[in-house]
């Protein structure tokens, strides 16, 4: 399970007399750099279309602590500011108190309040762009992606896919978000 969440490898050599040793190797997280692919870099863009992570804040909402912390680490290394919430109810409190959140990265299925409930609880005027991360998207989420332009990031995601998805959402929403 850790292997699939963290995109690395777990090795557990057996040692009969001293207990169990674990070695955990994860690939390096990309450092801060451009958000777009090489194709997108070749296209000229105005400053208004820039999706630079610098000064942009992402709220990461996930009940899986290990995945939440890994997402925060990836985003911070890419240059984003980031906040965390363990479920939709906690995220709602953060969103109502913090007015400078540019993007919400939310899991779909969580206790107390899931991602879709969080999305609906926010009025259109106060709702930042949403990026849902799910390995099992519901038909309702897929319909929302088509109708509201919400983005879906499939789990398991890679660090580069997470950064690209966040930058893509911000680029589509413009510089004021």
Tell me the H-state helices in the chain.
Answer: 2-6, 38-42, 65-78, 88-97, 115-121, 139-148, 159-173
With respect to residue 68, please indicate whether it lies within any of the assigned structural domains: yes
CA dist 72 and 109 (Å) reads 19
With respect to residue 141, please indicate whether it lies within any of the assigned structural domains: yes
Report whether pLDDT(117) > 60: yes
Query: Which pLDDT band, with edges at 50, 70 and 90, does 125 fall under?
Result: confident
Give 13: exposed, middle or buried? Use CB within 10 Å, 0-12, 13-18, 19+: exposed
Q: So what's the pLDDT on residue 47?
A: 42
Residues 6+ apart with CB under 8 A from 27: 7, 8, 159
Structural domain containing residue 81? 53-173
**What CATH number is attached to the domain comprising 129?**
3.40.50.2300
Dihedrals phi, psi of 138, to nearest 5 degrees:
-80, 160
> How many domains, the chain?
1
Summarize pLDDT for 55-100 with one digit per residue, the tens.
Answer: 899 999 999 999 999 999 999 999 999 999 999 999 999 998 977 9
CA dist 74 and 61 (Å) reads 14
With respect to residue 29, please indicate whether it lies within any of the assigned structural domains: no
With respect to residue 3, please indicate whether it lies within any of the assigned structural domains: no
Q: In terms of pLDDT, which residue wins out, 9 or 126?
A: 126
Residues 6+ apart with CB under 8 A from 133: 62, 105, 106, 107, 108, 152, 153, 154, 155, 157
Q: In terms of pLDDT, which residue wins out, 39 or 97?
A: 97
With respect to residue 38, please indicate whether it lies within any of the assigned structural domains: no
* Nearest to 60, CA basis, from 168, 163, 172, 136: 163
Report whether pLDDT(39) > 50: no
Structure tokens at 27: 């690939």
Residues 6+ apart with CB under 8 A from 158: 7
With respect to residue 5, please indicate whether it lies within any of the assigned structural domains: no
Through-space distance between the first and last CA atoms of the chain, rounded to whole angstroms: 35
Report whether pLDDT(30) > 80: no
């Amino acid at each position: 399970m850790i292997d699939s969440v963290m995109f690395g490898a777990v090795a557990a050599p057996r040692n009969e007399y001293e207990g169990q040793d674990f070695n955990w190797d994860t690939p390096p997280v990309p450092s801060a750099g451009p958000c777009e692919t090489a194709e997108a870099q070749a296209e000229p863009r105005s400053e208004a279309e820039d999706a630079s992570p610098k000064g942009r804040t992402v709220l990461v909402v996930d009940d899986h602590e290990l995945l939440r912390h890994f997402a925060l680490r990836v985003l911070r290394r890419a240059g984003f500011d980031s906040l965390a919430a363990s479920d939709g109810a906690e995220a709602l409190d953060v969103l109502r108190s913090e007015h400078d959140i540019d993007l919400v990265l939310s899991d779909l299925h969580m206790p107390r309040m899931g991602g879709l409930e969080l999305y609906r609880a926010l009025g259109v005027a106060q709702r930042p762009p949403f990026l849902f991360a799910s390995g099992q998207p519901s038909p309702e989420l897929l319909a929302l992606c088509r109708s509201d332009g919400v983005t879906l990031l499939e789990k398991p995601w890679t660090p580069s896919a997470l950064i690209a998805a966040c930058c893509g959402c911000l680029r589509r929403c413009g510089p004021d978000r």
